Amino acid sequence: MMGALVDMEDLVARSQLMREAMGTSKTVSTSMVKILSSFDHRLSRLEAAIRPTQVRTFTFRMGHENIDRTLKAAEVVLTQFDVSRQMEATINKGPKDDLSGFLAAVDQLQENIEFFSVNRKYKSSDGLLNHAKVLLTVGMSKLEAEFMALLMHHSKPVDPAQLNESLPTSDKVSLAAVDVQRTTIPQSPSFESINGNLPLQPPVLIAPKIIPQLHEMAKRLVGAGFHQQCFQAYRDIRASVLEQSLRKLGVEKLSKEDVAKLQWEALEGKIGNWITYIRAAVKLLFAGERVLCDQVLYRLDPVREKAFAEVTESSMMMLLSFGDVIARSKKSPEKLFVLLDMYDTMRDLLPEIEVVFSGEQAQPTREAALSLTRKLAETATETFADFEEAVEKDATKTLVLDGTVHPLTSYVMNYVKFLLDSYQSTLKQLFVEKGIGDRANSTLAAATKRIMSVLLINLEMKSNLYKDAALTNLFLMNNTHYMVKSVRRSEAKELLGDDWVQRHRRVVQQYAQGYQRSSWAKALSYLSGSSLAAGGSGGLANSGDASGISRAVVQDRFKQFNTIFEDLHIRQSQWTIPDPELRQAVRLQVAEVLLPAYRSFFRNYRAILEAGKNPQKYMKYSPEELEQLLGEFFEGKMRPDQRR
């Protein structure tokens, strides 16, 4: 209990000490607040005293910074002005002596113009900007003149001999990559595409070392807004040189009236030349112009595409217009082959035309080439159909007096043979153009059969003009045999088939037999002993026994036979069987019938005549002599008094 009291007293004593300490602290704090309040008051008065000085100092600092900025801006303006003044001398001098320096000056001048265009806040900017623009215009005029002079100096017509050497002798040309590393200009995507699709290496139209210079000049002209001037200069110069190249090659512009006045031989020659010209133009000249344009005007679209399109347009249209005149001229059978040649040429060139004349600007040229190809196909198809009609309606009544192959037959068969041997695939392609490609072979076969049929019908009509049945048969035999032989030796056999050939070979045999009956039936009748009669009446007393035959009857028989044979020999030695094998076969066929009958008659009745006077008057020919005379038949020994 006592211990607890001691602890309580100790605690009270400590509490008393703490109260005393806190009272002392409060007194000190109050004193400190008074002191600090005094300092705050003094500082406020000090701040008020130095504030004007601070404001003046800040103003001085800001003014100094403004002066620095102004001086720096002025320095930049003065530098640009100084550069512009330095470039002015180079620009006024022109690019002739120092192209690189001139181009560098143009680039710097362009930068000045951009600077003054952006920094329009300076009072002097507008004046400096206008001065720089005027100076740039002067520079571009000088650059344009130098561009034209350099392009013109190095643009020369291509030598025709160079083009002729470059063209392949056949349609099978090996792909040759175009050397596109001749200049330091990068390849454009379009140029790479063209290069990969050109089968021939185009000629070098401008020296490779000049092309980078032209390109740099063109780039500055276009960059400065002189698109039209650059385009016109390039177009006018290159178009003129291209036309000169074509004229040197031999290309000439012919109107429809000019073509109508030409004889066929002359026109055929010009068409052949046109095929060479347009192939040389597309594969070499136009391809070369595309390569050159892509290099000089690289990445300068739309100037590049427009320039190429207009450089080549006039020349290409001149070539296409001649083809169009031919396609629209009066149709005739002899034109079919050249029409097919022209169609083949255009169809062959179309893929290259698509590549060389790519782009929207050259679309009219591509469409014109495609239109001509279709027109040639249409005209060729119509001409082929007209040929069939012309064969059917050929009404010439001039006879071939010797019964040989009629000119119509040889013309038609040679025409068909050449057509099918040389142009069968092209004809089938025409049917594809008409939308019947799946039936092209059968359609061509049917057309060929119709031509054969109308020719045979026409020949039968012409054969009716002969007055001699034997000559009629000989004429039809000769012409049908010629047709069969021509078919067998040409691609027509595949279209007409073996059945057609075999059937018409039998027709030839039938005409040969018809000739034999018409010519020799009467002669053979005088060599038959069955009709002889005894006692001069023309009969036999004992068949097979010559002793009962009247000498007068035998004499008359020999005399009649001789007369007929001599007449046949005179006439038919003037007739012609032009094919040696057929001629020999017909002679053999006659000999196999005539000679045995003559030998038998000669042997059986020779003794009767030899018992009388002048037996050689009646027995003029021995069997051997008769055989020899048969060998003179069908040799075509023409005489002025030949009878039909």
Give the model confidence (pLDDT) of 586-615 as tens digits. Answer: 999 999 999 999 999 999 998 888 887 888
pLDDT score of 432:
85
Q: What is the mean pLDDT of the chain?
A: 83
What is the structure's pLDDT at 539? 40
pLDDT of residue 65: 63
pLDDT for residue 174: 29
Higher pLDDT, 375 or 133: 375
List, as own/partner pairs, every contact residues 160-168 make where C-beta atoms lie below 8 angstroms and the sequence separation is at least 24, other chains included. 160/248, 160/249, 160/250, 162/203, 163/203, 163/249, 163/280, 163/284, 163/285, 164/280, 166/200, 166/201, 166/203, 166/280, 166/284, 167/200, 167/276, 167/279, 167/280, 167/283, 167/284, 168/200
Hey, which residues does 576 pair with through a beta bridge? 635
Domain 160-171+182-362, CATH 1.20.1280.170 — does that match?
yes
> Alpha helix (H) ranges present in 329-468?
335-356, 363-393, 407-433, 440-463
- Quote the tokens at residue 432: 């594809």
**How far is Cα 147 from Cα 154, in angstroms, rounded to an integer?**
11
The answer on pLDDT for 208 being more than 90 is yes
Which CATH code for domain 526-630?
1.20.1280.170
The Cα angle at residue 205 between residues 201 and 206, in degrees rounded to 5? 125
Lowest mean pLDDT among 160-174, 352-366, 468-482, 616-630: 160-174
Task: Report d(CA 597, CA 587) in Å as an integer.
Answer: 15
Give the mean pLDDT of 226-240. Answer: 95
Give the model confidence (pLDDT) of 94-115 as tens digits.
888 889 999 988 888 888 777 7
CB atoms within 10 A of CB 586: 21
Q: State the average pLDDT over residues 336-364.
A: 95
pLDDT more than 70, % of the chain: 77
Provide the token pair at 146.
């130098």
Tell me: pLDDT of 516 over 60. yes
What is the CB-side half-sphere exposure of residue 417 using CA atoms within 13 A? 15
Lowest model confidence (mean pLDDT) among 21-30, 171-180, 472-481: 171-180
User: Looking at the predicted structure, is the pLDDT value of residue 503 above 80?
Assistant: yes
| Strand partners of residue 635 | 576
Report pLDDT for 96.
86
Tell me which amino acid residue 353 is: I
| Residue 567 and residue 627 in contact, taking contact as beta carbons nearer than 8 Å | no
Q: For residue 335, what pLDDT band results from cuts at 50, 70 and 90?
A: very high
Cα separation values, 445 from 79, 138, 281, 493, Å: 87, 73, 37, 10
The HSE-up count of residue 643 (CA atoms within 13 Å, CB side) is 10
Q: What is the pLDDT of residue 484?
A: 97
Task: State the amino acid at position 186 in one-letter form.
Answer: P
255-276 mean pLDDT: 90
Residue 171 predicted with pLDDT over 60: no
| DSSP summary character for residue 535 | G
Of 204, 203, 224, 84, whose CA–CA distance to 147 is shortest? 224
Give 302 or 510, the one with higher predicted confidence: 510
Please name which of 586, 571, 446 lies closest in space to residue 516, comparing C-alpha atoms.
586
Peptide bond into 351 cis (omega under 30): no
Q: CA angle, 194 as apex, 192 and 198 as ends, to 5°?
A: 125
Lowest model confidence (mean pLDDT) among 14-18, 185-189, 242-246, 454-458:
185-189
pLDDT (average), residues 253-268: 88
> What pLDDT score was predicted for residue 122?
59
Average pLDDT rounded to a whole number, residues 44-51: 70
Q: List the structure tokens of 39.
A: 């300092």
Q: HSE on the CB side for 20, CA within 13 Å?
A: 6
pLDDT at position 108 is 87
| pLDDT class of 67 with cuts at 50, 70, 90 | low
Cβ atoms within 10 Å, residue 54: 10
Per-residue model confidence (pLDDT) at position 12:
64
The pLDDT confidence band at residue 44, using thresholds 50, 70 and 90, is confident
Q: What is the pTM of this model?
A: 0.75
Which one-letter amino acid corresponds to residue 89? A
**pLDDT at residue 198 above 60?**
no
Residue 135 — pLDDT band, cuts 50, 70, 90? confident
**Angle, to 10 degrees, between the axis of helix 227-249 and the axis of helix 264-280?**
140
Q: pLDDT digit string (tens) for 388-424?
A: 999 999 888 888 999 999 999 999 999 999 999 999 9
47: left (phi > 0), else alpha (psi -120 to 50), else beta? Answer: alpha
Tell which residue, 407, 260, 230, has the closest CA to residue 330.
260
pLDDT value of residue 633: 94
| Residue 26 pLDDT > 70 | no
Is pLDDT above 60 for 515?
A: yes
At 532, is the pLDDT very low, low, confident or very high (cuts 50, 70, 90)?
low
Please say if the pLDDT value at position 31 is more than 60.
Answer: yes
Residue 157 to residues 239, 261, 276, Cα–Cα distance (Å): 11, 31, 18
Once rounded to an integer, what is the mean pLDDT over residues 215-228? 93
Which pLDDT score is estimated for 181?
30
Would you say residue 134 has pLDDT above 70?
Answer: yes
pLDDT value at 194 more than 80: no
Of 161-165, 168-172, 317-321, 342-346, the one with minimum mean pLDDT is 168-172
Query: Residues in the chain, how many?
Result: 644
